[in-house]
Amino acid sequence: MTPKGYIFDYGGTLDTNGCHWGKVLWHGYERRSIPITEEQFRAAYVYAERTLGRTPIIQTDYTFKKTLSIKLRIEFEYLQDKGLVGTNNFNIASEQSAILADLYENVKEETAKSRKVLLKLKEQCPLVLVSNFYGNLNVVLGEMGLNDIFDKVIESAVVGVRKPDPEIYRMGIDALGLNPDDIVAVGDSFDKDIVPAKKVGLHTVWIKGEQWDDSPHDETLPDRIITSLDELV
């Protein structure tokens, strides 16, 4: 089918080319040779995500760089509390800063690539963004050069609905004003993007990068599986 509109996810889709953000962060730790196991990192990552989910730490004017810095700080605080880092002359502030700089540069590069794809698609049909985010997504889009791309931005913290609730995809359909069968939803999360998008009748493209775990998925559910966003053009 020829799409008359697209609904895109943001985090993990447009900024990391399908790689789960937990894995992105872990690889940042690996590149700095932080002396912890992946299992220990996973516990810190989950702790930070839950902390940010239940506490309004991220403000609406925070940039992505500041948001990422806060995530790293919470993770390192957890690791320090568990006695896993902060000994043997380990400089926590220095390591946090180094990981932040590394990851931020990578994200800027990936997002610039995504922008080129999105601009080509925008010439053909309208684009809507549907994302679980903290309330500062429009600031982040401006920071990443994507603020002129989308006809509508639907952010979970603003609308009060989070994926995998299909209702947030219905909002995307309404924003486009099209029949679901004419819309393609693109996302990196099988459970939070592909499954709810299919429930509301959308065509789906799963950008399958490095996953958080090895759980099996029904790969017959998405209409298409890609490994790079530029496969869309």
The number of folded domains in the chain is 2
Q: Which pLDDT does position 89 carry in this prediction? A: 65
Q: Stretch 79-104: mean pLDDT, rounded?
A: 90
Same domain (yes/no): 70, 101: yes
Same domain (yes/no): 86, 134: no
Q: Which of 106, 121, 143 delimits the end of a domain?
A: 106
- Give the range of the structural domain holding residue 125, as residue numbers without chain letter: 5-18+110-232
Q: Stretch 38-56: mean pLDDT, rounded?
A: 95
Cα–Cα distance for residue pair 212/19, rounded to 1 Å: 8
Same domain (yes/no): 163, 69: no
Same domain (yes/no): 11, 58: no
Same domain (yes/no): 97, 178: no
Same domain (yes/no): 123, 10: yes
Same domain (yes/no): 77, 118: no
Same domain (yes/no): 57, 172: no
Band of the pLDDT at 48, cuts 50, 70, 90?
Answer: very high
Q: Which pLDDT does position 214 carry in this prediction? A: 84
Same domain (yes/no): 87, 156: no
pTM for this structure?
0.95
Same domain (yes/no): 10, 123: yes
Same domain (yes/no): 77, 177: no
Instruction: Render pLDDT for 152-197 as a digit per residue (tens, 0 to 9).
Output: 999 999 999 999 999 999 999 999 999 999 999 999 999 999 999 9
Q: What would the DSSP string read from start to end of the chain?
A: ---SEEEE--TTTTSSTT--HHHHHHHHHHHTT-SS-HHHHHHHHHHHHHHHHHS--S-TT--HHHHHHHHHHHHHHHHHHTTSSS-TT--HHHHHHHHHHHHHHHHHHHHHHHHHHHHHHHTTS-EEEEE---S-HHHHHHHTT-TTT-SEEEEHHHHT--TT-THHHHHHHHHHTS-GGGEEEEES-IIIIIHHHHHTT-EEEEE--S-SS-----TTSSSEEESSGGGG-
Q: Which pLDDT does position 66 carry in this prediction? A: 98
- Name the average pLDDT for the chain: 96
Token pair, residue 220, equals: 């017959």
Same domain (yes/no): 49, 157: no
Band of the pLDDT at 90, cuts 50, 70, 90?
Answer: confident
Instruction: Render pLDDT for 193-219 as a digit per residue (tens, 0 to 9).
Output: 999 999 999 999 999 999 998 889 999
* pLDDT cut 70: percent of the chain above it: 99
Q: Which of 75, 106, 137 delimits the end of a domain?
A: 106
CATH code where residue 227 lies = 3.40.50.1000
Q: Which of 106, 139, 160 delimits the end of a domain?
A: 106
Q: Stretch 31-47: mean pLDDT, rounded?
A: 97
Band of the pLDDT at 64, cuts 50, 70, 90?
Answer: very high
